[in-house]
Amino acid sequence: MNVYLTGVFWVIGAAVVAAVIGYLVRRFGWDEGRRDNNDAAGQVFTIVGGLYAVLVAFVLISLFDGVSSAREDSYTEADSLVAATWAAEALPGDTGEQVRALATAYVNTVAQQEWPQLAADSPIPATGWSQLDQMRRVVAAASASDDWETDRKNEATDQLWQTYQSRQDRLNGAEEQGVGAVMWFALILGGIIFMLLPNLFGGTRMAAHLVIVSTLAGTIALLLYAILQLQNPFSGGSSVHPDAFTAAVTRLG
């Protein structure tokens, strides 16, 4: 189902549930002295709302930064790989051809094999690491007869190291992303408490009360849905795609 349509269902569903609860509380619940409790209930609502807003903002910003970092790491990894390949082409013998073939195979491995595994939170095969190690061995074994070739060899080595670091950052980001069970417990329970608190207020008409509680519940559901979509940077509504490696295939030829 479309991610936006699913989000709309989340919002509508939460709004309907909150409206039903609000109606039942107003219709059959305890009502004596409710208006007199508005000041105290308002203070509690402000404190709980502030704490919940801080929690949600912290989680959303953290997850959004994780998605941005994953996208940047993928481009750094692909660009460094291309730079290493171009530098290796200046080395004697068939070093350049071997590195280019291994780089092309590595790009295909990342885009076609690793990316679906990242999206599914599945273990990543060691194929990519082996291909990087083979490239390192080929560059290390190449001879350099002058300063230019020595400089190109060092450049290829440095760019391969940058590729290795960016790859490790990408995989670490996939493992470390997400919201833990304790945080989800706090988000969901805090959202329920925050949604139910307006039922303690008195003085508003039934229709206005239902609009208030349903709007609040829909907003909370929307924020929780956004957190769910941002949990894995390689899946969900804001997922990072292997565009950097697709473009690298063209540059590698």
DSSP string, 74-142: HHHHHHHHHHHHHHHTTSSTTHHHHHHHHHHHHHHIIIIIIHHHHHTTPPPPTHHHHHHHHHHHHHHH-
Whether the per-residue pLDDT at 227 is higher than 60: the answer is yes
Contact residues for 24 (Cβ-Cβ < 8 A; gap 6+): none
79 touches 162 (CB < 8 A): no
Residue type, 192: I
- Report percent pLDDT > 90 for the chain: 45
13 touches 221 (CB < 8 A): yes
Positive or negative, the CA dihedral 131, 135, 137, 138 is: positive
Lowest-pLDDT range, 13-17, 126-130, 180-184, 202-206? 202-206
Burial class (CB in 10 A: 0-12, 13-18, 19+), 31: exposed
Q: Which two tokens stand for residue 11?
A: 């919002």
Q: Which two tokens stand for residue 247?
A: 């473009």
| Residues 222, 85: Cα–Cα separation, whole Å | 45
Q: Which pLDDT belongs to residue 197? A: 85
Lowest-pLDDT range, 20-29, 82-91, 154-163? 20-29
Range of the domain at 111: 3-28+35-252
Q: Which pLDDT belongs to residue 96? A: 86
Q: Which pLDDT belongs to residue 31? A: 58
Angle (CA) 39-220-183 rounded to 5° is 100
Average predicted confidence (pLDDT) for the chain? 87
Report which of 246, 237, 252 is spatially closest to residue 63, judged by C-alpha positions. 237
Residue type, 206: M
| Residues 210, 143: Cα–Cα separation, whole Å | 77
Please provide residue 172's backbone torsions phi and psi, each rounded to the nearest 5 degrees.
Answer: -65, -40
Query: Of all helices (H) and strands (E), which one includes residue 173?
Result: helix 147-176
Q: Which pLDDT belongs to residue 75? A: 92
Q: Which pLDDT belongs to residue 203? A: 63
Average pLDDT over residues 121-127: 87
Q: Which pLDDT belongs to residue 26? A: 78
Q: What is the pLDDT of residues 26-47, one digit of tens each?
A: 777 665 545 666 777 778 888 9
Q: How much is the pTM?
A: 0.80
Q: What is the pLDDT of residues 46-57, one digit of tens each?
A: 898 899 999 999
Q: Which pLDDT belongs to residue 29? A: 65
Whether the per-residue pLDDT at 100 is higher than 70: the answer is yes
Lowest-pLDDT range, 85-89, 175-179, 184-188, 249-253? 175-179
Number of residues written out for the chain? 253
Positive or negative, the CA dihedral 183, 184, 190, 193 is: negative
Report which of 102, 151, 130 is spatially closest to residue 252, judged by C-alpha positions. 102
Q: Count up the domains in the chain and report the number.
A: 1
Whether the per-residue pLDDT at 3 is higher than 60: the answer is yes
Q: Which pLDDT belongs to residue 76? A: 93
Average pLDDT over residues 115-135: 90
Q: What is the pLDDT of residues 179-211, one digit of tens each?
A: 888 999 999 999 999 888 888 776 667 888 888
